[in-house]
Structure 1
C-alpha cells in the first residue's frame, strides 16, 4: 500500500523521530512510504527507500505554540503557510495514499489546523478514500477549555478511522491526560512505545554517569546542575551530552566549567551504547529518552521539563518513579544539592528488573493499520464464511459437538511475535499450546509462560534438525536413524523442557514437520509422554497403549508457494470440510479441530486472517479449548483396532 505520514515538530525533534520510526516500519513491510515534515529542516537518518518532503519550516520558542517563526526567528507570513498547504496537497496528489497518518493532530497542533484540515478534506474526496489515522504519544496536553476538547472529539469522529496511541497503559493510560469520550473509545488502539532503534542493546560493563538533555536549549539548567553535582561525586566518570540546540558560546562555557573527570561533548549517534555502559542516566523525561531508558534497563534520575505549565514529562517521570524505575527531581527543585542527593540515592539501590512494557510500537502500528485497511471493502474483498456457518448448522442438527484447539509451533523465547500471539489468545479467550524446541529454549520463555493462565507448552522434537536424506520429506524423527537414538533424544527433550518450563509443560510430543516413524511412537509412553500431536485427522485405528493423539487440521500458511497467507477461500473450505468429516463419521468426532500457526514467520496478512478467524469463532460460539482440556482423557479415541 501507499502510506503518507505528516508531522510538524515545533520544539525539539521527538515528534519527527517517532514519525520517522513509523515510516521505516511501514517501508520494511513493503509499503511505499512518504514522510512529510513541516518542522525544522532536519532529515532523519535511515530513510533509504522512503520519500521525504520538507515543507517550508516553522518553529516556536519555548512553550508559546501559538506563535510560529521561520528559520530566522521571524514571525511566519501567511504566504509561507499558503505555500505549505500547496506543497502538502501536491504530496497527496503524487502519492494517492491508501493510508494517511497525521502526527498529533487533531489532539494538538491547533495553530496548524487550516493546514491539516485542508489535507484531510482533500483526502476524503479521493476515491477510494484513504484510511485516515492519528498518531499520538502516551501523554497529551489537554486543553483547558471544554469546547476545544469537544472540537477535537468531533474532528476525530468525522474524519478518522483510528487513533494510534504510542504507549503502554500500564505506564500511563490515555485517560490520565485526555478525557476519552465513549464515542471515540472504539477508535483507540494502544501500540506500545515506538522505539526509533529497536535493535538489541548488548549488555556492557556499567561504569559512569551519563547526562543528556534532548536537542533543545531547554536543558541548560540541567547541564549546569550536573556539572556542579559532578564536583561532589568524584568517584565515577561523568559524560554530559549537549544538544545541538545549545549555542556554541553556552557549550564553551559548560566545557570550561567542567572538572577533569567530566567529559562534555555534543550529542552522539551512539547514545544507546553509552547508556548500556552507564551506571546511571540523568536526563529529562521526554518520550524517546524514556524509551531508551526502558530498553537499556539503566538506573535513572529524571528531571522533567515543566516550563510553561508543561505536564507531559512530569507525569511520565512520576509514573516511572512509582514503578521503581527512576528517581525524580522536579524542575522547580533542580539544584546541585538536590541532584547530588538523587544520584547518590539511585546508585545506592539495586536495580529492579524492568516490568513487561511493550516497546514494539512501530511494528504494532503497521500491523494495526494493515488490519484496518484490509477490512475496508475498497482495498480488500471480505472473506465469505458462509460454508463454515452452514457446516456448523449441520453439526448442530446432527448433535455433533464441534470444538477447536490451537497449536503454535517453534517457540523458543519471549519475542515480539510471541507477545502478539499471546495477546490475540487473551483477546479471543482461547487457550494456546506452544510447541517448543527444547534444545534452543531460553529462560525468557519460561518466565513469560508463568504469567499466562491459558498458555501451555508441548515438546517439539529436540532441535528441529532434519535427518532425512536429500530428496525425501524433512523429518527429525523419521525412519532414518536408530530407534534407540531417537527414543533417548525424545526423553532428553522432555526432561529439558520440564526443567525449563515446569508446570506449564504438558507431556505431549509434537514431531517437527509433523512426521514420526511408527516405531518411535510406540516408544513415546516409556519415554514419559502421554500424548502425540501431528497434522490431519487422527485415525480410529491408532492404538498405542497410554498415548492419546490430538492433531491439527487447519494451517493458514502457503508453505509451498508464497509462504504468506494461503488462499482464504481454501482455508475456509478446509475448516468446513473438517466439520463435515466429523458429522458423517469420516473423522473421529471426539477429536477437536486443531488450528496450526507459526508465529515467528507470520506476516501481517497471516496475522489479520488469524484475528478474523478468532473473531468468527467467537461469533459462532464455537468452544476454543485450553490445551490441558484438549489432552484430557475425555478426548481419547473411542474406537481402537
Structure 2
C-alpha cells in the first residue's frame, strides 16, 4: 500500500508522535508510508523507512486555538496557509496513495478546515479513490455547539470510510467523550493504544521519582511544584525531565532551584527505560505519556492538563484512578503539599504491572487498514464492468453522448439513511431527485434539504397506497380507480408537498410502483406538473403537450428474491443494454439513463454496489445531469413521452 498520513500538532508533540508511530508501523509492514507534518518540527525517532515531509509550520500559544502563529511567532497570513495547502496537495498527487489518513480531522483542527477539506476534495476526485481514514486518540474534546458536532459527523459520512480509534473500548469507549450517532458508530475501528516503542523493557530494581511534562510550556507549574515537593521527600532521588516547549531561561531557573538530590535535565530518548526503573512517575495525563506509564508498569501520579476547558486528560486520569492504576492531583489544586501526599500514597503501593489494555495499536492500525483495503479491492474486482465499458466506448466512437441521472423513492423524513444517501451523492458530486410521499412528508425532510444545492424533492404520488387487485401488479395511480379521483389526489399531492418543501420541490410526478393510467397523463400539466418519471425507456411516438418524461432504467434491488442487491452481472448487463439501445436507436438517445434507489430499505451490499457503480461511471467520465437541468429546462418541455 501507498499510505499518506497528514498531521498538524498545534501545542504539544503528542499528535505528531502518534502519527510517526503509525508511519513507522506501515513502513515496517512493507508499505510505502509518507508522513506530512504541518506543526513545529520535533523528534520523530527512527523514521528512516518512511518518507517525512515538513510543511511551513503553524502553532499556537497557550489554549488560543484560533490564533495560528508562524515560525517567527507572528500571526499567519493567507499566503502562508496557501503555501501549506499547495505543498500538501502536491504530496497527494506525487504519492497517489491507496490510503489517506487525516490525524484528528474532522473531529478537531477546525482552524485548518480549509486545508483538510481541500485535501479530501482532491482525494475523492482521484480514480481510483483512496481509502480515506480518520486517526484519533482514545478521548476527544467535543465542541459545546451541536452544529459543530453535526458538521464533523457530516464530513465523516461524506468523505470517510472508517475511523481508527487509538484506544481500547474496555478502558474508555469513544462515546465517553464524544456524542456518537449510529452512522458514526458504524465507522469506528478500535486499534488499541499506539505505543511508539513496543520493544520490551528490562526490569530493574525501582528507585526514585521521575517527573515529566510533555513537550509544551503548559507543564511549567508542574515542574516548579515538583521541585518544592522534592524538598519534602528527600530520601529518594528525583529526575525532572523538561520538554522543549520550556524556554531556556525557565529551564536554567529550574536547574538553579533544584535541591541536591534532584536532577533537572531536558527530555531524554530513554524516557521509557527511566520509567521502568522508577518507583513513581509524576506527569500530566497526555496520551503518549500514559501509554509510556502503562507499558513501564510504574505507579503514576497524574496532574491532568485542564486549562482552556480541556477535558481529555482529566477523563483519562479519572478512568485510570477508578481502576486503581493512578493517583490524581487536580491542576487547580496543584501544590507541593498535595503532590507530596499523592506521591506518598503511590509509594505505599506496589507497582501496577502491565494492565489488561491493548497497547499494540500501531500494528493494529496497519492490520485494520489492510483488511479494509483488501475488502474494498476484492469487492470491486468481483464486479465485472467490461460489458458496460464496451458499450460506453462504442457510444463514444459513434458520437452518441450518454447522460445519467439519479432518482431515489419513498423519502418522508430526515433519517440516518437519508444522510448516508445524500452524503454518497455529495461524495461523487452528483445530483439526486428524492421522490417524497406527500401525505407522509415531514418538516425534517425540508430542513435537511434546505441549502443542499444538488438534491431536490419530487412528488411521489399521494400516500403510496396500493389500489390494484391482489392478482395484479401494485399501483396507486393505475387503471383501477376513477380518473377524477386520482386527479384530485395528484393535485393534493403537489399542493401538500410544495407547502412543506417549498423551493426544494420540483413539480415532477413520480407514480408509486412506476405505473400510471394513460388517461391521467394529459391532466398533469393542468394541475401544475411539468414532468413525469416512471421506469422504462420513454416512447418517442406518444406526445403529451407541456410534459417532460424522464424515466429510470436500473434498480439494483432484487425485489422478488433476496431483497438485497441483485446479481451484479445482470445489473451491469442492464446498464450496458440501456446504453446500447441509445446507440442503435431502439431508445431515445436524448433520454438520460436513470438510476433508481430506495434508501430506506438498503442493506450494506446495496450501498456498496451503488457506490461502486457511481465510482466506475465517473471514472469512465460519464455525465451525471443535475436535477434542475433535467426538469426545469424550458427548451425541453415539449419532449415526447
- Measured against aligned partners, the alpha-carbon deviations of 1:447-505 in whole angstroms (never above 9, x if no partner) come to xxxxxxxxxxxxxxxxxxxxxxxxxxxxxxxxxxxxxxxxxxxxxxxxxxxxxxxxxxx
Q: Is the 1:6–1:103 Cα contact (8 Å) retained in structure 2?
A: yes
Structure 2 partner of 1:79: 79
Partners of 2:109 and 2:290 lie apart in 1 by: 23
Structure 1 partner of 2:578: none
Partners of 1:324 and 1:171 lie apart in 2 by: 13
What pairs with 1:411-426 in structure 2 (closer than 5 Å)?
A: none
What pairs with 1:621-632 in structure 2 (closer than 5 Å)?
A: none
What pairs with 1:266-415 in structure 2 (closer than 5 Å)?
A: 266-377=266-377, 381-382=381-382
What pairs with 1:463-542 in structure 2 (closer than 5 Å)?
A: none
Q: Secondary structure at the match of 1:341?
A: helix
- Measured against aligned partners, the alpha-carbon deviations of 1:114-163 in whole angstroms (never above 9, x if no partner) come to 10000000011111000000000000010000011001001000000000
Q: Secondary structure at the match of 1:72?
A: coil
Q: Is the 2:207–2:279 Cα contact (8 Å) retained in structure 1?
A: yes
- Measured against aligned partners, the alpha-carbon deviations of 1:45-75 in whole angstroms (never above 9, x if no partner) come to 2111211111100000111111100011100
What pairs with 1:81-120 in structure 2 (closer than 5 Å)?
A: 81-120=81-120
Deviation of 1:217 (Å): 1.2
Q: Secondary structure at the match of 2:301?
A: strand
Structure 1 partner of 2:249: 249
Partners of 1:355 and 1:380 lie apart in 2 by: 41
TM norm structure 2? 0.59
Partners of 1:36 and 1:353 lie apart in 2 by: 36
Partners of 1:340 and 1:42 lie apart in 2 by: 32
Partners of 1:338 and 1:281 lie apart in 2 by: 15
Instruction: Kindly indicate whether residue 29 of structure 2 is the aligned counterpart of residue 29 of structure 1.
Output: yes
Gaps (5+ residues) in structure 1?
Answer: 385-641
Partners of 2:248 and 2:81 lie apart in 1 by: 31
Give the aligned CA root-mean-square deviation in angstroms.
1.4
Q: Secondary structure at the match of 1:25?
A: helix
Structure 2 partner of 1:237: 237
Structure 2 partner of 1:50: 50
Deviation of 1:378 (Å): 7.3
Q: Secondary structure at the match of 1:205?
A: coil
Partners of 2:43 and 2:271 lie apart in 1 by: 19
Partners of 2:375 and 2:77 lie apart in 1 by: 43
Structure 2 partner of 1:188: 188
Q: Is the 1:373–1:379 Cα contact (8 Å) retained in structure 2?
A: no
Deviation of 1:95 (Å): 0.4
**Structure number with bigger Rg:** 2
Partners of 1:36 and 1:350 lie apart in 2 by: 42
Partners of 1:342 and 1:91 lie apart in 2 by: 48
Partners of 1:122 and 1:247 lie apart in 2 by: 40
Q: Is the 1:375–1:382 Cα contact (8 Å) retained in structure 2?
A: no
Partners of 2:209 and 2:355 lie apart in 1 by: 23
Instruction: Kindly indicate whether residue 197 of structure 2 is the aligned counterpart of residue 226 of structure 1.
Output: no
Structure 1 partner of 2:462: none
Instruction: Kindly indicate whether residue 23 of structure 2 is the aligned counterpart of residue 11 of structure 1.
Output: no
Q: Is the 2:294–2:355 Cα contact (8 Å) retained in structure 1?
A: no
Q: Is the 1:128–1:378 Cα contact (8 Å) retained in structure 2?
A: no
Q: Is the 1:70–1:76 Cα contact (8 Å) retained in structure 2?
A: yes
Partners of 1:185 and 1:304 lie apart in 2 by: 28
Q: Is the 2:279–2:351 Cα contact (8 Å) retained in structure 1?
A: no
Deviation of 1:185 (Å): 1.0
Partners of 2:380 and 2:341 lie apart in 1 by: 59
Q: Secondary structure at the match of 1:281?
A: strand
Structure 1 partner of 2:494: none
Structure 2 partner of 1:447: none
Structure 1 partner of 2:140: 140
Structure 2 partner of 1:264: 264
Q: Is the 2:101–2:135 Cα contact (8 Å) retained in structure 1?
A: yes
Q: Secondary structure at the match of 2:210?
A: strand
Instruction: Kindly indicate whether residue 154 of structure 2 is the aligned counterpart of residue 154 of structure 1.
Output: yes
- Measured against aligned partners, the alpha-carbon deviations of 1:358-395 in whole angstroms (never above 9, x if no partner) come to 000000001111100011137973599xxxxxxxxxxx
Report the count of equivalent residues: 384
- Measured against aligned partners, the alpha-carbon deviations of 1:596-620 in whole angstroms (never above 9, x if no partner) come to xxxxxxxxxxxxxxxxxxxxxxxxx
Partners of 2:51 and 2:353 lie apart in 1 by: 40
Q: Is the 1:374–1:380 Cα contact (8 Å) retained in structure 2?
A: no
TM norm structure 1? 0.59
Q: Secondary structure at the match of 2:81?
A: helix
Deviation of 1:351 (Å): 3.1
Partners of 1:379 and 1:262 lie apart in 2 by: 61
Q: Secondary structure at the match of 1:6?
A: strand
- Measured against aligned partners, the alpha-carbon deviations of 1:493-541 in whole angstroms (never above 9, x if no partner) come to xxxxxxxxxxxxxxxxxxxxxxxxxxxxxxxxxxxxxxxxxxxxxxxxx
Deviation of 1:216 (Å): 1.2
- Residues 202 and 71 (structure 1 numbering): CA distance in 2 closer, same or farther, change over 3 Å? same
